Structure 1
Amino acid sequence: MTYADVVIVGAGAAGLSLAYRLCAPDARVPLSVVLVDAPPGPLRPPPRTWCFWEPPGGEFDAVLSASWQRLRVRAADGSATVAVPSPLRYKMLRSDAFTALVGSRLDAAAGFARTELTVRAVRDAAGGGGEVVGEDARGRRTVVRGRYVFDSRPPGRLPAARTTLLQHFTGWFVHTERPVFDPDTATLMDFRTPQPRHGLSFAYVLPLDARTALVEYTEFSRTPLEPAAYAEALDHHLGEVLGASPYRVSATEHGVIPMTDGRFPPRAGRSVFRVGTAGGATRPSTGYTFSGVQRQSRSLATALRAGKPPRTPPPYRARSLAMDAVMLRALDAGRVDGAAFFTGLFRSVPPARLLRFLDGSAPLREELLVGLRTPVAPMLRTLAELPFRSRRFMPTDPAPAVPHPPGPPGLSDEE
């Protein structure tokens, strides 16, 4: 049996971010940390992309794949709104680069250890603290215990909710034979896509250069699509809408992110905590995860490194979550046209203010100003209805959530 001050389960965005901050070299209280990763195979998440916005000079800038100071949104009729949200920049971070950066710090930390287990249980230990029970590569039962255990695995079941939509997407890294993309501008939402009956869809284009980009098809709806449907939508958008044919696909990504007003409990026991999507780090109305993960891991590490019990404040304020609940219900009920809703916001709200709003970091005054730019009548009707709606579990839960943020209303990772 292995014992440590802190045990972290999962080496995705949330687990690695927490380990990275706990193992910072200037810790006042040195901590022993064990990271429990899944063995190579289906339990280990594949490489993915996280996007977020912040000013230049962020702690991960050295390993970014790209960043953009110009953002574009295209309405269903093709008209474009281009914004420069200074001082914010939109940043793209690949998980392999992030893992390498974090790994360089963890390898140098004296109190850090990593192990690979197929985890069977995460729970409070009988004698105090928490424990992770699993099997090693030889199938032998292994127990790792700690004063505190942080479980970053995606939730096995979504919480009961009044509204639950899924943000599901497939992305292709494509290379074209001729210049097609504007490398200075990220297209966050392109609504020249067929819209589902409930929710919305859009394409998302992150250019790396004039011939290379990550292009995604994203839906907010009740159920994911079959794989062929994503491929058909992407091929149509690339060929018919963007005129990018012929093109070559070098890599693919797929994800399902919960967009729900259900409550994710931050604790699973006296000494067991949930982080990442399972701990509420995903913004319900947007799917953003990576920024929420950073706020969450920073708060936890600050307390632990000061020798205090971990604090688990929610990554998003109560009023932000209340507004999310209204927006999700209005979108699911068809009271607002999703494409027109988000296009209107980008046209009428100053870009930096809107990005702060979508990230959940806007002050109250800015939130109210953005709220006035939404369809007031359907929003008020939805607000009046919500207290009378019961919370229910989804009949069948989706595939495990992948915290990859694909676009402002669908943007994590963060996780």
Structure 2
Amino acid sequence: MKKYDFIIAGGGMAGLSLAYYLSQSPLRDRSILILDKETKQRNDRTWCFWEQQTGPFEPILFRKWNTVEFFGTTYEGLLDIGDYQYKMLRGIDFYEFMKNHLAQFPTIEFRQVTINRVKDTPQGGFVIANDEPYIASYVFDSTFALNLKRPENHNLLQHFKGWVIQTEKPCFDVNRPCMMDFRVEQHGDCRFLYVLPFDERTALVEYTIFNDRLLADAEYDTALIDYISRFLDTGNYTIQETEFGIIPMSDEPTQERAGRRVVRIGTSGGYTKPSTGYTFQRTQRYLHEIVQNLVAIGKPRRRKPWLRRVFKKYLDSVLLNVLQYRRHPADDVFTRLYQYNPPGQIFRFLDEDTTFTEDLKIMSTVPLGPFTVAALDVLRKKVLRI
């Protein structure tokens, strides 16, 4: 049996990004096997993120904007995002770019298989796929499913359905994407739309919900139809594409190092921010650091200051507690964050780049009563867990 240097279990965003960073490093000549059950030939998702500098995927961005709109409970209008840009990357463009780029390296192999098991052993990381064994010095696994049923944790879902619509009337301003629009019935949840214009007659309109249960498919459609009729002067329109996704929002403890030779990446490794579901930029940052350390010391480690990490996770749990137990309307929470803080500072906060003092200043702008109750409840749960 051939032993690879690296096996990447799961060829989605995290797995392909890791292969890309390895190919851009001095490790580009190492043997790499990418295993996935799909061939990634359709536009199954869209990633939107903010960034200050030019990123590695700049050539394949579908759109980018220097400002965004926000519609909340007591504040609406354009947000001054400073030196940030709001960027949109389509899944199909990402997959095609990765396939073409990685095909240049003869030491990188792809296998379309179903992964049955990933195991750490003294001999290396083992993967069983289609009942066949594979071994590598390190296995990077993005397929491990988190346990989202433990009652001692906060377990929500971010679920969304989006339509790319083409309209009869020219109703979109290509320079004004809407990042969050809370002018929809909340039903006690956190529900908002975002609208990303491609041109004057084409845009992605997406309905997003934070709660603990999925809707019937027709309910997403009804919400999209209602929003378009109320807020967009489209005339007749046709649906060109549809996308649907689910992202876990959970403070379930994750284990990035699942063994000496197995490393979990992506959502499996805790790369999704629990309180918001943001994943793309965190994944890029963490994987880049892993590859840097593989080059420097030969081990896939990330530097994780303990106190800072614990405090950030605590803040995530507090916001999840507010959302899960409906302690305060979520639309008002997010409105306050963007109304009373510079948007760029909120971006830094969500990227976990803010200091302890900055975190406290931002948290002082949310409703203190409900958040204090949530903070105490999170502490109680942690004590009971211990």
In the superposition, the TM-score normalised over structure 2's length comes to: 0.92
What corresponds to 1:362 in structure 2?
354
CA distance in 1, matches of 2:246, 2:44: 15
Q: Within the alignment, does 1:303 sit opposite 2:293 as a pair?
A: yes
What corresponds to 1:319 in structure 2?
311
Higher normalized contact order (CA 8 Å, seq sep 6+, divided by chain length):
1
Deviations 1:83-134 (A, max 9, x none): 1212110100112211222223311224211112111111124x51111111
Q: Is the 8 A contact 1:37 1:115 kept in 2?
A: yes
Q: Within the alignment, does 1:64 sit opposite 2:56 as a pair?
A: no
CA distance in 2, matches of 1:373, 1:194: 24
Q: Within the alignment, does 1:102 sit opposite 2:98 as a pair?
A: yes
Counterpart amino acid of residue 11 in structure 2: A
Counterpart amino acid of residue 295 in structure 2: R
What corresponds to 2:83 in structure 1?
87
CA distance in 2, matches of 1:156, 1:377: 32
What corresponds to 1:396 in structure 2?
none
Q: Within the alignment, does 1:17 sit opposite 2:17 as a pair?
A: yes
Per the TM alignment, residue 225 of structure 1 is displaced from its structure 2 partner at its CA by 0.4
Question: What is the SS of the residue equivalent to 1:306?
Answer: helix
Per the TM alignment, residue 28 of structure 1 is displaced from its structure 2 partner at its CA by 6.0
What corresponds to 2:255 in structure 1?
265
Q: Within the alignment, does 1:118 sit opposite 2:117 as a pair?
A: no
- Evaluate the alpha carbon distance shift between residue 246 and residue 373 of structure 1 in structure 2; reply closer, same or farther with a 3 A threshold: same
CA distance in 1, matches of 2:27, 2:325: 51
CA distance in 2, matches of 1:235, 1:216: 11
Q: Is the 8 A contact 1:266 1:312 kept in 2?
A: no
Counterpart amino acid of residue 38 in structure 1: K
**Paired positions, count:** 382
What corresponds to 2:187 in structure 1?
196
Deviations 1:5-31 (A, max 9, x none): 11001111100010001111x406842
Q: Within the alignment, does 1:223 sit opposite 2:213 as a pair?
A: yes
What corresponds to 1:404 in structure 2?
none
Counterpart amino acid of residue 178 in structure 2: T
Per the TM alignment, residue 334 of structure 1 is displaced from its structure 2 partner at its CA by 1.9
Q: Is the 8 A contact 1:207 1:214 kept in 2?
A: yes
Deviations 1:156-183 (A, max 9, x none): 5337343111111101111111111221
Select the residue among 327, 335, 346 that pairs with 1:343: 335
Counterpart amino acid of residue 176 in structure 2: T
Give RMSD over aligned pairs: 2.4
Greater mean alpha carbon deviation, residues 253-262 or residues 265-274: 265-274
Q: Where do 1:373-412 residues align within 5 Å?
A: 373-389=365-381
Question: What is the SS of the residue equivalent to 1:185?
Answer: coil
- Evaluate the alpha carbon distance shift between residue 314 and residue 116 of structure 1 in structure 2; reply closer, same or farther with a 3 A threshold: farther
CA distance in 2, matches of 1:313, 1:155: 24
Q: Name the % identity.
A: 35
Q: Is the 8 A contact 1:29 1:305 kept in 2?
A: no
Question: What is the SS of the residue equivalent to 2:379?
Answer: helix
CA distance in 2, matches of 1:318, 1:89: 29
- Evaluate the alpha carbon distance shift between residue 269 and residue 158 of structure 1 in structure 2; reply closer, same or farther with a 3 A threshold: farther
Q: Within the alignment, does 1:164 sit opposite 2:152 as a pair?
A: no
Question: What is the SS of the residue equivalent to 1:14?
Answer: helix
Counterpart amino acid of residue 57 in structure 2: F
CA distance in 2, matches of 1:255, 1:183: 25
Select the residue among 28, 46, 50 that pairs with 1:49: 46
Deviations 1:62-92 (A, max 9, x none): 1000011111111247x52311212110100
Per the TM alignment, residue 39 of structure 1 is displaced from its structure 2 partner at its CA by 4.1
Counterpart amino acid of residue 196 in structure 2: L
CA distance in 2, matches of 1:49, 1:248: 19
Per the TM alignment, residue 196 of structure 1 is displaced from its structure 2 partner at its CA by 2.2
Deviations 1:192-238 (A, max 9, x none): 111122x3111111111121111111111110101000000001101
Select the residue among 324, 330, 333 that pairs with 2:322: 330
Counterpart amino acid of residue 105 in structure 1: H
Q: Is the 8 A contact 1:159 1:264 kept in 2?
A: no
CA distance in 2, matches of 1:107, 1:276: 23
Structure 1 unaligned spans of 5+: 136-140, 393-415
What corresponds to 1:173 in structure 2?
164
CA distance in 2, matches of 1:11, 1:226: 29
Per the TM alignment, residue 357 of structure 1 is displaced from its structure 2 partner at its CA by 1.0
Structure 2 unaligned spans of 5+: none
Question: What is the SS of the residue equivalent to 2:82?
Answer: coil
In the superposition, the TM-score normalised over structure 1's length comes to: 0.86
Per the TM alignment, residue 370 of structure 1 is displaced from its structure 2 partner at its CA by 1.0
Per the TM alignment, residue 60 of structure 1 is displaced from its structure 2 partner at its CA by 0.9
- Evaluate the alpha carbon distance shift between residue 182 and residue 154 of structure 1 in structure 2; reply closer, same or farther with a 3 A threshold: farther
- Evaluate the alpha carbon distance shift between residue 276 and residue 227 of structure 1 in structure 2; reply closer, same or farther with a 3 A threshold: same
Per the TM alignment, residue 390 of structure 1 is displaced from its structure 2 partner at its CA by 6.6
Counterpart amino acid of residue 37 in structure 1: D
Greater mean alpha carbon deviation, residues 254-263 or residues 356-365: 356-365
